[in-house]
Amino acid sequence: MFRPAYLELHEVTDDSYDLTWRLPLVNGRPAQLELVYPEGTELLGEVRRLQLPNGLVEQLRIQRHEGLIGQRLGLRGGATGDSAY
C-alpha cells in the first residue's frame, strides 16, 4: 500500500516559516525520512510531535535569513535512500 509523506509550508515572516509534515507508518513505525533544508536554515524552538494511528505529524518553525525563494526543501530516505525535492 502506498503511504505518501506530506509536507506543508506557511510563510510567517520574510525569513521564517511554519512546517507541518506527516510521516506514514511502515510496519508500525514512522517511515525513515528526514527533511532536507537549504544551507543556512535554522530550527526555531522545539519540534512538536503528534502520534496518529496511521502516522507521525511533526510541526516546527524554521528560519533562513535569505528566505526560501529559489531554494529547495525536500525529503531524503525511504526504502531507496533517494531524495525528492
Q: Which pLDDT tens digit goes with each residue over 1-46?
A: 667 788 999 999 999 999 999 988 888 888 888 889 999 999 999 9
Angle at alpha carbon of residue 23, lines to 19 and 27, rounded to 5°:
170
Return d(Cα 72, Cα 48) in angstroms, integer. Answer: 23
For residue 58, give the nearest of 25, 19, 30, 10 by alpha carbon. 19
For 75, phi and psi rounded to 5 degrees?
Answer: -120, 140
Return d(Cα 85, Cα 72) in angstroms, integer. Answer: 6
- Output the pLDDT for position 1: 60
Q: What is the pLDDT of residues 55-72, one digit of tens each?
A: 999 999 999 999 999 999
Cβ pair 26, 5 in contact under 8 A:
no
